[in-house]
Amino acid sequence: MLVVKDLHVSVEGKEILKGLDLTINKGEVHAIMGPNGAGKSTLSSVIAGKDGYEVTSGTITYEGEDVLEMEVEERARAGMLLGFQYPVEIPGVKNVYLLKAALNAKREAEGLGEIPAPEFMKLIREKLAFMQMDASFLQRAVNEGFSGGEKKRNEILQMLVLEPKLAMLDEIDSGLDIDALKVVAKGVNSLRNEDRAVLMVTHYQRLLEHIVPDQIHVLMDGRIVKSGDKSLALELEAQGYDWLQEETA
Amino acid sequence: MASQEMEQLVQREYKQGFVTDIESDTIPPGLDESVIRFISAKKGEPEWMLEWRLDAYQQWLKMKAPSWAHLDYPEIDYQAISYFSAPKKPEDRPQSLDEVDPKLLETYEKLGIPLHERAALAGVAVDAVFDSVSVTTTFKKELSEAGVIFCSISEAIQDYPELIKQYLGTVVPKADNYFTALNAAVFTDGSFVFVPEGVTCPMELSTYFRINAANTGQFERTLIICEKQAQVSYLEGCTAPQRDDNQLHAAVVELVALEDAYIKYSTVQNWYPGDEDGKGGIYNFVTKRADCRGDRSKVSWTQVETGSAITWKYPSCILRGKHSVGEFYSVAVTNGRQQADTGTKMIHIGEGTKSTIVSKGISAGNSEQSYRGLVKIGPRAKGARNFTQCDSLLIGDRCGAHTFPYQEIGNATATVEHEATTSKIGEDQLFYCRQRGISEEDAVNMIVNGFCKDVFQELPMEFAVEAEALLNVTLEGAVG
């Protein structure tokens, strides 16, 4: 589904990713771990198309398409969605409005018409209930005055409505208490099926207890230095990253 | 000038052989007393009205155009303007929509303006058969049953001279400023509304229903009076961009609210802003003022300003009555080469008076925009309160936003709050929306409309929907 080859990325002239390779197949859940400043968030930002990241060489392909040639919104409509670490506030814009606009943009790209209002409301209510969110939430401005936990739930709610093929989660666990983490994990797990994939970036093994990955990659100094199954997370938890540094040096 | 002197002057000049063919439809460019006499005669006005105009003209001659606004435009040659012209003859106008600026047509399309109205708005020589003829008849009947007077100010001068004499120029004195003096001398039409004591006007009044003569836009004069406990909601303008052959617009609006009266005045201004280089756009110098004369009276100004090359406009409230209330909600959008210097004045005179100012300025392209607001608390305005919120949003890096708040506090028991923000439309906000699949243009519209929400919710329902569509069209291509 997603193939990243020898990706080099610079930010303001400084090279952050230095030849990263990664392949994600349908139905798989991948976790990227690594120390601060290794370039974990850079990877998901580049795939999503954020400004300020210069791809100096390498390729990213998604279902055979050259991702780097696609506009940000095209990537989203094609099914690559990013759950933000710090979702931004948009004053005056109701949550329900953003959700509807996003869903209709996707449907339009798929050649479907706008979703009829009753159908939309039914869908939203169902997803809200699943995420244990109150309906009043729809009438609030996007992320404005939301607690950390509410913001993260909102990111997952959007995913449940938009049903991405490749869900990228950037430190979705940061700032969550254990109850909120369970709800978020439940949401992500409900997205999993044989046609979809998940790429999550995290610092902590804790998240991986709730969303069990098929593969774990350790990102250090702009490259993936080690890949393994879920047991790798426990090793990292116990030993930190230093031993890998030595191993790869 | 004493009226006696005036009379002499009038007569002397008349003796000197003032002759104008009032059958003619147009007079050549230039302004002198004969022009004013011509206009007055053309309207069949009584003598006192002519004198009123001439007095204004004499005062105007001694005045200078204001230069304090943050606006840059070439000096206006007042002798190059024609002060009375009937609508262009059909043969001089575009013969079909094919001859009209395609950009304008595109805009009509996007705003969903009905086909038969597009031609009229674009100035095409067609018999503009508005459906409003029958509408007008029905609604006139309903109004008169309620005792509400709604007519053109020219009619009012003929039919209700006592009301005109009592109120005209009492809120905005003739020589209040350069443009009001000019307007008083040469105004050609406008609206008159009178709502008698205890009556709530049964419908929203709109200039749209008053389209009876073209080209009344240049020097409009509007007077609205609400007697005790009367209420009216008045809508001015329309969302469709209007072409006008007259570049200079200097309108005056006066509102009078007596005890417990409530006037809600909503404007959507969308005059032609000029082409991409700002050529041909309208200069809009407007004086709007409300006098809350009665205790507990209330006036609410809501405006959405998207058009004109130059906007100079400060709808104000004089809060004279005890516990009277003034409100100002404004969205101003500038794009391309537009310049706007706009804001409000809240003059607190009476005890316990209250005012609210919410101003949202959006600048894009190479435009310049200023908010200029005065909150004045007089010595007798015990316990007066003002709240001002003034936000600017910048799109791109070639535009400018400026805020000039003035406060004069003459009573220590008053409470005055001012909040101001300036922000650039967030790259992060745009990215967030686009990452949800929403196009950049839709994302900008969404963010801007969110920014304006506080003001839009003050507009009458239908207007609010139109205003959102209008904003989207105005900001088209502002990003990227």
| CB atoms closer than 10 angstroms to residue B94 | 17
Q: Which domains does chain A have, with CATH numbers?
A: 2-248 (3.40.50.300)
Nearest to B163 by CA among B245, B233, B256, B45: B256
Is 90 exceeded by the pLDDT of residue B247? no
Q: What are B150-195's pLDDT values in tens digits?
A: 888 888 999 999 999 999 999 999 999 999 999 999 998 888 999 9
Q: Do the Cβ atoms of A77 and B437 come within 8 Å?
A: yes
Tell me which of B217 and B409 has the higher pLDDT: B409
Q: What are B51-102's pLDDT values in tens digits?
A: 999 999 999 999 988 888 888 888 888 888 878 765 555 555 566 666 666 6
Instruction: Determine the distance from the C-alpha atom of residue B315 to the mean position of all C-alpha atoms in its chain, rounded to a whole number.
Output: 8
Q: Do the Cβ atoms of A162 and B432 come within 8 Å?
A: no
> Percent of chain A beyond pLDDT 90?
75
Is 80 exceeded by the pLDDT of residue A16? yes
Confidence tier at B238 by pLDDT (50, 70, 90): low
What number is the average pLDDT over the span B207-212? 45
Confidence tier at B257 by pLDDT (50, 70, 90): very high
Confidence tier at A100 by pLDDT (50, 70, 90): very high
pLDDT at B379: 95
What number is the average pLDDT over the span B259-269? 92
User: What b/e string do you get for B213-228 counting C-beta neighbours within 10 Å, with b at 16 or more?
Assistant: eebbbbbbbbbbbbbb
Q: What is the torsion angle, in degrees rounded to the nearest 10, for the CA atoms of residue B462, residue B467, residue B472 and residue B475? A: 170
Query: Which positions in chain B touch A109 (Cβ < 8 Å)?
Result: 437
What number is the average pLDDT over the span B22-47? 81
Is 80 exceeded by the pLDDT of residue B117? no
Is 70 exceeded by the pLDDT of residue B335? yes
Reading the block at residue A25, the tokens are 């197949």
Query: Which positions in chain A touch B427 (Cβ < 8 Å)?
Result: 51
Q: Do the Cβ atoms of A91 and B450 come within 8 Å?
A: yes
Q: What are B378-408's pLDDT values in tens digits?
A: 999 999 999 999 988 888 888 888 889 899 9
- Helices A148-162 and A117-130 pack at an angle, to 10 degrees, of 130
Say how far apart CA B204 and CA B8 lie, in whole Å: 45
Q: Do the Cβ atoms of B436 and A92 come within 8 Å?
A: no
| Beta strands B248-249 and A197-201, pairing class | unpaired
Domain positions in chain B are 3-429
Of A71-75, B15-19, B39-43, give the lowest mean pLDDT range. Answer: B15-19
Q: ipTM, 2 decimals?
A: 0.94
B439 touches A: beta carbon within 8 Å: yes
pLDDT at B213: 38
What number is the average pLDDT over the span B340-362? 94
- pTM, two decimal places: 0.78
Strands across the sheet with B298-305, in order?
B205-206, B231-236, B262-269, B298-305, B325-334, B354-363, B385-394, B415-424
Tell me which of A38 and B210 has the higher pLDDT: A38
Q: Do the Cβ atoms of A162 and B428 come within 8 Å?
A: no
Is 80 exceeded by the pLDDT of residue B2? no
Of A71-75, A164-168, B407-411, B419-423, give the lowest mean pLDDT range. Answer: B419-423
Say how far apart CA B338 and CA B399 lie, in whole Å: 10
Q: Is A12 exposed, middle or buried (0-12, 13-18, 19+ CB in 10 A)?
A: exposed
Q: B447 to chain A nearest CA, in Å? A: 7
Q: What are A116-175's pLDDT values in tens digits?
A: 989 999 999 999 999 999 989 899 999 998 988 899 999 999 999 999 999 999 999 888
B436 touches A: beta carbon within 8 Å: yes
